[in-house]
Amino acid sequence: MRGRRTSGAVRPDDIRQHNLSLVLRHVHRDGALTRAELTQRLHLSRSTVGALVGDLAQLGLVEEVVPSGGERVGRPSHVVAPHAHGPYAVGIDVDIEHVTVAAIGLGGTIIAREVLPTSPEVTPTDLVALVAGALTGLRTTVGAASRVCGIGASVPGTVDLSTGRVGVAPNLGWEDVPLGEMLEDVADGVPVVVGNDADLAVLAEHQRGNARDCDDVVFLMGRIGVGAGIIVNGVPVRGRDGHAGEIGHNVLDPTGPPCHCGKRGCIETFLGENALLGLAGRPSRRTDTEVADLFNDARAGQREALRAMGAAAESLGRCIADLLNILNPERVLVGGTMAELLDLARAEVEAAVERYAFERSHPGVELLLPAFGADSALLGSGEIAFTALLADPR
């Protein structure tokens, strides 16, 4: 959100677009702001900000309202807020047993959501058909006054961001799936963007959550699989093919259990949901309940469950230590099922980080839970869906 330097001749029209984009980004990220706050932040004149706000209001993107609540002396000052009936993004979070489809307003507010049960065997075609039905449902719920400006989808797999093609989503059994194109076929001309779940989770947390004031952050997402979303110096790190952060397949122990990727002893075989169940001597998951039961048993002091948590906490600490050594972040957010593991066994996780991280790379690093709980990836999918509108609000 820093000012952009341009060289050569700049047309007044470009400046106007740039400034409209700036105002809308600030309101989108920070919620309601007074004109005075916008003037101060953007280093523009009061009259320029007034004109920009007027344009955005005419476009139906913002509205000026009197904030509710709080006793105020004198005339209440209006704030510039996302328009209540402004355009919304559709966020889609594809998980192993369900898909969540939500209408997300400017400002990152979830207006409506549908959670549809699926299964690990769901085919891309079946999933897209489910999403198509949910899109129709959401349009009815939100009402015809608002339009959809973009669709973003989060997938637990590798994604080519430019094409929306899923390279591999191992826990869904998907390989080389043109998900972006398939969703476009049911999107009525609305643009579609697809991203990796951890990459999108870190985006949402950096925008408005527990990493909003922090430019070096890693989001470690652990559900069945384990992956990291990375922001370095404020910029998302995706790598050449979008595979950066696939830490779940770093080998912890080459003599360890076989991994679905073909190697042995990957982090995922010690830390994913099935790994947790296996450590407690339980069969692999069929539904979300087995993992929830395991956590409940651990909290109740059941011995095998606690032993499994201890072993997984050690692996989580090692995994975080690797990330600290390579990236030296200021914060690590732990999400998915691993958030619950961190919550339950924080002391063990921190002790393992202490043991395995390079001495200089970990002092002061904060291990946090995501601000948005299980919704980080969903909200991140909304963020990428807003990208085009935020770049050019006209």
Contacts with Zn ion, residue ranges (CB under 5 A): 249, 259, 261, 263, 266
The amino acid that residue 15 corresponds to is I
Smallest distance, Å, CB 279 to Zn ion? 17
Q: How many CB atoms lie within 10 A of CB 95?
A: 23
d(CA 80, CA 61) in angstroms, rounded, equals 10
Backbone phi, psi, residue 12, to 5° = -55, -35
Question: 352, 339, 264, 268: which is closest to 313 by C-alpha?
Answer: 352
DSSP secondary structure letter of residue 272:
S
Q: Output helix, strand, coil percentages for the chain, rounded to the nearest 5.
A: 45, 20, 35
Of 89 and 220, CB closest to Zn ion: 220
Question: 20, 75, 66: which is closest to 42 by C-alpha?
Answer: 20
Of 92 and 252, CB closest to Zn ion: 252
Smallest distance, Å, CB 266 to Zn ion? 3
- 264: Cβ–Cβ under 8 A, 6 or more apart, which residues? 251, 253, 254, 255, 256, 257, 258
DSSP secondary structure letter of residue 2:
P
Of 198 and 367, CB closest to Zn ion: 198
Smallest distance, Å, CB 250 to Zn ion? 8
Of 171 and 381, CB closest to Zn ion: 171
Of 212 and 264, CB closest to Zn ion: 264
d(CA 366, CA 343) in angstroms, rounded, equals 14
Smallest distance, Å, CB 241 to Zn ion? 17
Smallest distance, Å, CB 259 to Zn ion? 3
Segment (H or E) for 346: helix 346-356
Smallest distance, Å, CB 249 to Zn ion? 4
Six token digits for residue 77 = 């000052």
Of 268 and 340, CB closest to Zn ion: 268
In order of 222, 254, 308, the CA distances from 267 in angstroms are 10, 10, 15
Of 228 and 259, CB closest to Zn ion: 259
- 377: Cβ–Cβ under 8 A, 6 or more apart, which residues? 93, 154, 197, 198, 200, 201, 204, 221, 335
Q: How many CB atoms lie within 10 A of CB 300?
A: 9
Of 261 and 326, CB closest to Zn ion: 261
Smallest distance, Å, CB 311 to Zn ion? 18
Smallest distance, Å, CB 274 to Zn ion? 12
The 3-class secondary structure across 155-178, one letter per residue, is ECCCEECCCCEEEEEHHHCEEEEC
Of 203 and 220, CB closest to Zn ion: 220
Smallest distance, Å, CB 268 to Zn ion? 5
For residues 285 and 291, the answer to whether their CB atoms sit within 8 Å is: yes
